[in-house]
C-alpha cells in the first residue's frame, strides 16, 4: 500500500521536496501524520495517514454492557468528555424509553455547556498560539482549570469524566459544585471579553487568519462537515436547535453563523458559541431552582444502580443490583440513532440492539473523523504555515478521529 503521494509530474524545472508533518510534530497538537509534497513553502499535494491511536472501541463495545460503554465514550473527544457521556446515556435512554426528570436535563445542560466552553477555550487559545500570540492561551487556560474543578466536584475526575449514569447522575450536585458554576458564570465573561479584545481586531491575527482556507457552504455540506466548521461556512445547522434533546427546546439561545468559512470566521463562531453557552448555563441555573432539589435521576431501578447502603439493607435494591451487574434485564430489540451537538459537530450514536445486555453493533459518527478528510485536499496550494493554523482551527481531536 502506498502511503506517499504518487507524483507523476516530470517537469525538470520543478523540484519538490517531501515533508513528513507528524506523527509527532509539535505544531499539530496530537498524533496526525500528513505527508506533504512541497514546492518551496507551498503545498502541492498531501496525504493524511490516520489511525495511530485506534483502539477498536466499536468492537469492544459489542462486549460491554451499556453502562460500561460510557468510559469508552470519554476517550473519543477527551477535551469535552461530558458531552460524549451524555450523548451515550441519552442514546440508551431513547432505546429503553426512559424519560428523565427536568432537573436532570438542566444538570446535563450545565455540564455539556461547560464542556463546550472548555473545548473552545483550548481550540481558540491554541489557534492564538499558532499565530504567535501566547497570551490569550495562558490567560484562558486558568478558566478551563476552573471547569475541570467543577467536573471534579461532580464526579471526581477531570479529563475522562465518566459523568452521569443511564437515567441521570450517580449523585446529586452538592452546594460547592453549584457555587463553583455560579462563580464561573460570573468570572468568565470579562475574561472572554478581554480575549476577544486581544484577537478580534488585532491586525496581525486578522491578517494571518482572514481568507485562509475558506470553505463554501456547498463544499462543507458535500464533505458532511458539521458543528462550528459548517456554521462558519454559513449553514445554520445545530443539532441542539434542529432536534432538541435534554430539553434544549425550552432554552433561549442563538446559533452563530460565519460568512466564508475561513479560519477567522471559525474563530469568531467558536467565541460566540462560548457566549451562548454562558447564556444557556445561566438559564439552566435559574430553571433548576424551581425543581425539587433531591431529584437527580429517573426512577428506573432496572437500569440505575442502587446506592451501596441500600444493596446491603434492602431486598429490592439487592435484586436490582444483581440484575444490572449480571445483565439479566431485558432490553428492546430496536435500532436507535441519536445525535448530540458535540463541540466539533454532530456526534451520532448508531446502536443496534438485539435484546441482550450489550449492543449488537454500535457505531460512533465522529465529527473529527468526518471533518478531517477535507484537510489534505483543501491544503493544496496553501502555504505550509497556513496549513498549520488551518489544522488548529479544524480542532481535530486524535481520540475522536481514530476511535
The distance of Cα 401 from the centroid of its chain, to the nearest Å, equals 11
Cα 65 to chain center, whole Å? 23
Contact between 235 and 217 under an 8 Å Cβ cutoff? The reply is yes
How many residues interact with another protein (rule CB under 8 A)?
Answer: 44
Binding mask 41-80 vs another protein (x if CB under 8 A, - otherwise)? ---------xx--x-x-xxx-xx-----------------
Contact in structure between 394 and 70 (CB atoms under 8 Å): no
Compute the least distance from the CB of residue 31 to another protein, in Å.
Answer: 12
Contact segment (CB under 8 A) with another protein among 9-17, 20-28, 75-83, 334-342 equals 334-342
20 scored as a contact of another protein (CB under 8 A): no
Query: Rounded to a whole number, what is the largest CA-CA distance in the chain?
Result: 84
Does an H or E element contain 143, and which? helix 134-155
Nearer to another protein, 171 or 361 (CB): 361
Nearer residue to another protein within complex by CB, 222 or 286 = 222
CB of 65 to another protein, least distance (A): 12
Which helix (H) or strand (E) segment holds residue 376: the answer is helix 375-379
Q: Determine if 176 is a binding residue for another protein (CB under 8 A).
A: no
Q: What are phi and psi of 294, to 5 degrees?
A: -100, 5
Alpha carbon distance 77, 296 (integer Å): 25
Segment lying near another protein (by CB under 8 A), choices 13-21, 127-135, 270-278, 356-364: 356-364
Under the binding rule (CB under 8 A), the answer on residue 135 touching another protein is: no
Residue 352's H or E segment, with its range, is: strand 345-354
**287-326: which residues touch another protein (CB under 8 A)?**
326
Rounded Cα distance, 105 and 100, in Å: 7
Instruction: Label the pairing between strands 42-49 and 333-342.
Output: unpaired
Helix (H, G, I), strand (E, B) or coil at 351: strand
Within residues 192-211, the interface with another protein by CB under 8 A covers: none
Residue 270 neighbours by CB distance under 10 Å: 27
- Taking CB under 8 A as the criterion, the residue among 25, 42, 365, 380 binding another protein is 365
Sheet (strand 33-39) strand order: 17-21, 33-39, 42-49
Residue labelled with grid coordinates 512541497? 38
Rounded to an integer, what distance in angstroms lies between the CA atom of residue 223 and that of residue 227? Answer: 13
- The piece of 131-139, 182-190, 329-337, 388-396 that touches another protein (CB under 8 A) is 329-337
If one asks whether residue 403 binds another protein (CB under 8 A), the answer comes out as yes
94 touches another protein (CB under 8 A): yes
Position 346 contacts another protein (CB under 8 A): yes
Rule CB under 8 A: is residue 249 a binding residue for another protein? no
User: Quick one: which of 186, 337, 355, 381 contacts another protein (CB under 8 A)?
Assistant: 337
From 151-159, 195-203, 262-270, 368-376, give the range in contact with another protein by CB under 8 A.
368-376
Residue numbers at the binding site for another protein (CB under 8 A): 1-3, 50-51, 54, 56, 58-60, 62-63, 94, 219, 221-225, 235, 237, 242-243, 326, 334-337, 339, 346, 348, 350, 352, 360-361, 363, 365, 369-370, 372-374, 402-403
Amino acid at each position: 500500500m502506498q502511503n506517499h503521494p504518487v507524483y507523476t509530474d516530470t517537469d525538470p524545472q520543478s523540484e519538490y521536496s517531501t515533508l513528513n508533518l507528524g506523527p509527532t510534530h509539535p505544531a499539530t497538537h496530537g498524533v496526525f501524520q500528513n505527508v506533504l509534497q512541497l514546492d518551496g513553502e507551498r503545498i502541492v499535494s498531501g496525504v493524511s495517514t490516520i489511525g495511530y491511536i485506534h483502539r477498536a472501541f466499536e468492537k469492544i463495545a459489542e462486549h460491554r454492557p451499556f453502562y460500561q460503554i460510557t468510559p469508552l465514550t470519554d476517550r473519543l473527544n477527551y477535551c469535552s468528555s461530558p458531552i460524549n457521556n451524555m450523548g451515550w446515556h441519552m442514546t440508551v435512554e431513547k432505546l429503553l424509553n426512559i424519560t428523565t426528570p427536568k432537573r436532570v436535563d438542566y444538570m446535563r445542560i450545565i455540564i455539556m455547556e461547560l464542556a463546550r466552553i472548555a473545548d473552545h477555550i483550548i481550540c481558540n487559545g491554541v489557534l492564538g498560539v499558532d499565530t504567535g500570540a501566547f497570551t490569550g492561551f495562558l490567560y484562558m487556560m486558568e478558566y478551563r482549570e476552573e471547569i475541570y474543578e467543577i467536573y471534579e466536584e461532580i464526579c471526581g475526575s477531570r479529563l475522562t469524566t465518566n459523568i452521569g449514569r443511564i437515567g441521570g447522575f450517580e449523585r446529586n450536585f452538592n452546594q460547592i459544585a453549584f457555587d463553583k458554576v455560579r462563580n464561573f458564570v460570573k468570572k468568565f465573561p470579562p475574561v472572554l471579553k478581554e480575549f476577544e479584545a486581544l484577537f478580534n481586531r488585532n491586525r496581525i491575527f486578522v491578517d494571518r487568519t482572514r481568507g485562509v482556507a475558506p470553505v463554501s457552504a456547498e463544499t462543507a455540506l458535500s464533505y458532511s462537515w458539521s458543528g462550528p466548521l459548517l456554521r462558519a461556512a454559513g449553514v445554520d445547522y445545530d443539532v441542539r436547535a434542529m432536534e432538541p434533546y435534554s430539553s434544549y427546546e425550552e432554552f433561549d439561545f442563538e446559533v452563530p453563523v460565519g460568512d466564508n468559512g475561513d479560519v477567522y470566521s471559525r474563530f469568531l463562531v467558536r467565541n460566540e458559541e462560548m457566549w451562548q453557552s454562558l447564556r444557556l448555563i445561566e438559564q439552566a441555573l435559574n430553571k433548576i431552582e424551581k425543581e425539587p432539589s433531591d431529584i437527580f435521576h429517573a426512577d428506573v431501578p432496572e437500569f440505575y444502580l442502587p446506592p451501596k447502603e441500600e444493596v446491603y439493607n434492602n431486598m429490592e435494591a439487592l435484586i436490582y443490583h444483581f440484575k444490572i451487574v449480571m445483565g439479566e434485564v431485558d432490553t428492546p430489540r430496536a435500532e436507535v440513532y441519536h445525535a448530540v451537538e458535540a463541540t466539533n459537530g454532530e456526534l451520532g450514536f448508531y446502536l443496534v440492539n438485539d435484546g441482550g445486555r450489550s449492543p449488537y453493533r454500535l457505531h460512533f459518527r465522529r465529527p473529527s473523523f468526518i471533518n478531517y478528510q477535507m484537510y489534505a485536499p483543501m491544503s493544496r496550494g496553501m502555504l505550509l504555515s497556513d496549513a498549520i493554523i488551518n489544522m488548529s482551527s479544524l480542532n481535530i481531536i486524535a481520540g475522536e478521529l481514530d476511535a
